[in-house]
Structure 1
Amino acid sequence: MIGQTVSHYKILEKLGEGGMGIIYKAEDTKLKRTVALKFLPTALTSKPTAKERFMVEARAAAALNHLHIVTVHEINEYEQQLYIVMEYVQGETLKEKIDSGLIEIDEALQLAIQTAEGLGEAHEKNIVHRDIKSDNIMIDEKGQVKITDFDLAKLKGQAQLTRKGTTLGTAPYMSPEQTRGSDVDHRTDIWSLGVVMYEMFSGQLPFKGDYPQAIYYSIMNEDPEPLSRLRTGIPAELERIINKTLEKKPQNDTSKSLTC
């Protein structure tokens, strides 16, 4: 699609591809701004559940207006393909930043606070992300967090789009409830934020395995190595908060400890 014009958006380059969408960088020729366009893959277009999940993402993200959440501008259809027009974020993913070297404690704390603030806004509107991970957290050129990919977002009270017993998410960041295929709520995002925080402060994931089932076992049955053993200078209160997010029993408001 590179070089094509969809509505008034000129496709410039492909940015990435995931299970629920292909993302392109584009120029809004009317407003003269750079945007991101996310298309449902052609192979999935004929599947009602995939289309419906894509619509859920659009409705969920469009309901959010927060500094730390990627803004949705429009949802439309092109040649029977649904697409979302989103804010284009110039920067890097948190995963890329972690992989480039250990993040300073103060900076990592600010990134964690910003992520918690964005999630807090979503949870206030009864929206659960369900796939929080360092790859889904962008850091723009000003150092501001932008949460992306509400692909798996589920509005509370809406009919479940996946059969009970089906897992949605990314294995190392999944909550115990997700590994079991159980119903989830905002506490799953709090768990996943805890995994991201552990990863930011230590440079490694708390739960590991060579294949998904091994990771699920670790999540369900093992405790992560204490952060203070992996890195000096970790404040005791910060370690306590991260440990609380990773308790096997879901917690209610741990994320508020960061933002208060």
Structure 2
Amino acid sequence: MIGGRYRLTARLGHGGMGTVWRAHDEVVDRDVAVKEPRLPDHLSARERETMYARMRREARTAARIDHPSVVTIHDVVVENEQPWIVMELVQGRSLADVLNDGTIGVREAARIGLAVAGALEAAHATGVLHRDVKPDNVLLGRYDRVVLTDFGIAAVQGEQGLTETGAFVGSPEFVAPERVLGQRPGPESDLWSLGVVLYAAVEGVSPFRRSNSPATLQAVLSAEPQRPARALSDSGAFGMLLTRLLSREPGLRPDAAEIRQTLADVARPPQQALRPQAGAPGGSAVGRVLRGFGGKLRTSRPWQFGTGGAVVAAAAATTLFFALTGDRAPDGWTTRNEEARVSARLAVPEDYERSADDGAVTYTDPGGVVSMKLTRSSKDIEENSLKEANSWKTFYEDGAKEDYSTTMVEVRSRVTEAKQQGQEAAEVSTTFRPKPDIGEPEEAKKFRHELVYVNSKGVRWLLTVNMPAEGKSRKDGETVYEEAKKSLKINDL
């Protein structure tokens, strides 16, 4: 019996700083988890007190974070001068246990990652860096709950550190390179760790793990991870997110908002992939604000998609097919047959990166400045093209709410009539500013061109091109839109 109320019933696991027990709270009649400090006998009194202080701070740190994916702390009990942490009992397995049985799918990885990213975002908002994001510390509970636990080595802004100067803490293969170098970490360091976790979950191998810790740390600093082939194959957006999360320069990693949006899109079940949120017309995947327009337009083909023989053969076959059918793309462009995804074909710049999800294909310039997306909604649209376009206009002018939160401000949108292969269509042109997260600087204005077409069966196609609102990139984006619109051929008008 601990603290006169917590009866230990079974050992659940152990780690470097303690053993976790299942216990029963005799006062309120519920099962809980209790973390017992377990320290080596050779530690000095000063070292033992440091470890106990770390456990007490772990409890305080987790308790100050209000998020459903952060473990709930119930109590701290001092027994024989040692602090025992009493927390909620998460019924389930750790992600590490699950991965011991094999990899998980991209959609499930995105669902788990979305919850962990939310927990980290909440922690960072309170000045807490977790510093030990790894599969062992991600618990998968009942009712699809995901919980981030073990804040034992967390760094808390404004509090004195408990780690000796120069000492290294964390699990080497999941530690960001700036931490290995002894540089001051930030939220981006936890996001790197999340990227490694998701990479390992889907690809089946940790990108930097080596035979010993020094070799692993050296790999973190200098080794290029293998291309996340399975992730890119199943979801280009997810694969590209992993690649960017593992950027060695912290400033090049995506921010929490972009991670949340991308993972939410990937995690959404197929039948919901194009369903609106909070009144959005059509599909939420295209209703969200696309971020990451920084950088410059480049003309080199991205490395991510390789130059293997199969790829070359497929490209040659595609070129031959469209040559025989009389479709010719402009110089520097290629015609893409997207029959399987969206029942259409269109021309895109040759060096644009392709990603695909259910009912949607996206092409992005190598610098991430201009993006083009074509979606096909299989749900029944009761309105015609013009009314559907006006629904989008209203949605944007209302702030493009997602999960009841405004994502667009300073919106100016207009609708014009158009034609698609001789049929009635409509266009939506929108200038807006993405609403920044709290504490984040204001972003530059963006511009979005969209072609909306709804056929007689209520199936809707939406061609969207996103670009900066000003400068040369605006002109480039306008050209991309006009050429893509002109080349678009829908197969089941």
Shorter-chain TM range is over 0.9
Contact 2:2 2:77 (8 Å CA) reproduced:
no
Note if 1:22 corresponds to 2:19: yes
Larger Rg computed on CA atoms = 2
SS in 2 for 1:233: helix
- Greater relative CO (CA pairs within 8 A, separation 6+): 1
Note if 1:247 corresponds to 2:244: no
For 1:161 and 1:113, locate their aligned partners in 2 and report how far apart those are by CA, in whole Å.
Answer: 30
What residue ranges of structure 2 are gaps of 5+ in the alignment?
262-493
For 2:248 and 2:232, locate their aligned partners in 1 and report how far apart those are by CA, in whole Å.
Answer: 26
Identical aligned pairs, as a percentage?
Answer: 30
Change (3 A) 1:171 1:225: same
For 1:256 and 1:242, locate their aligned partners in 2 and report how far apart those are by CA, in whole Å.
Answer: 15
Change (3 A) 1:110 1:231: closer
Contact 1:134 1:196 (8 Å CA) reproduced:
yes
Q: What's 1:54 paired with?
A: 55
For 1:175 and 1:41, locate their aligned partners in 2 and report how far apart those are by CA, in whole Å.
Answer: 28
For 1:236 and 1:81, locate their aligned partners in 2 and report how far apart those are by CA, in whole Å.
Answer: 50
What TM-score, normalized to structure 2?
A: 0.50
Deviates more, 1:235-244 or 1:138-147: 235-244
For 2:256 and 2:198, locate their aligned partners in 1 and report how far apart those are by CA, in whole Å.
Answer: 11
Q: What's 1:33 paired with?
A: 30
Note if 1:204 corresponds to 2:196: no
Contact 1:172 1:207 (8 Å CA) reproduced:
yes
How does 1:150-161 map onto structure 2 within 5 Å? 150-161=151-162
Contact 1:70 1:148 (8 Å CA) reproduced:
yes
Q: What's 1:177 paired with?
A: 178
Contact 2:178 2:184 (8 Å CA) reproduced:
yes
Contact 1:241 1:254 (8 Å CA) reproduced:
no
String of CA shifts for 1:179-227, please: whole Å, max 9, x gaps.
Answer: 2343322221111000001011111111121100101111100110011
String of CA shifts for 1:72-97, please: whole Å, max 9, x gaps.
Answer: 01112011111111000110111111
1:172 is aligned with what amino acid? Answer: E
1:18 is aligned with what amino acid? Answer: G
SS in 2 for 1:135: helix
1:239 is aligned with what amino acid? Answer: G
Q: Offset of 1:231 from its aligned partner?
A: 5.5
Choose between structure 1 and 2: higher strand proportion.
Answer: 2
How does 1:91-240 map onto structure 2 within 5 Å? 91-228=92-229, 230=230, 233-240=233-240
Q: Offset of 1:50 from its aligned partner?
A: 1.1
What is the total number of aligned residue pairs between the two structures? Answer: 256
SS in 1 for 2:195: helix
For 2:231 and 2:129, locate their aligned partners in 1 and report how far apart those are by CA, in whole Å.
Answer: 31
Deviates more, 1:58-67 or 1:99-108: 99-108
Contact 2:3 2:77 (8 Å CA) reproduced:
no
2:13 is aligned with what amino acid? Answer: G
What TM-score, normalized to structure 1?
A: 0.92
What residue ranges of structure 1 are gaps of 5+ in the alignment?
none
Q: What's 2:258 paired with?
A: 257
For 1:56 and 1:97, locate their aligned partners in 2 and report how far apart those are by CA, in whole Å.
Answer: 29
SS in 2 for 1:86: strand
Let me know the Cα RMSD of the aligned residues.
Answer: 1.8
SS in 1 for 2:110: helix
For 1:39 and 1:81, locate their aligned partners in 2 and report how far apart those are by CA, in whole Å.
Answer: 8
Contact 1:25 1:37 (8 Å CA) reproduced:
yes
Change (3 A) 1:116 1:205: same
How does 1:53-72 map onto structure 2 within 5 Å? 53-72=54-73
SS in 2 for 1:224: coil
Contact 1:45 1:51 (8 Å CA) reproduced:
no
Contact 1:164 1:183 (8 Å CA) reproduced:
no
Contact 2:232 2:240 (8 Å CA) reproduced:
no
Change (3 A) 1:231 1:155: closer
Deviates more, 1:180-189 or 1:130-139: 180-189
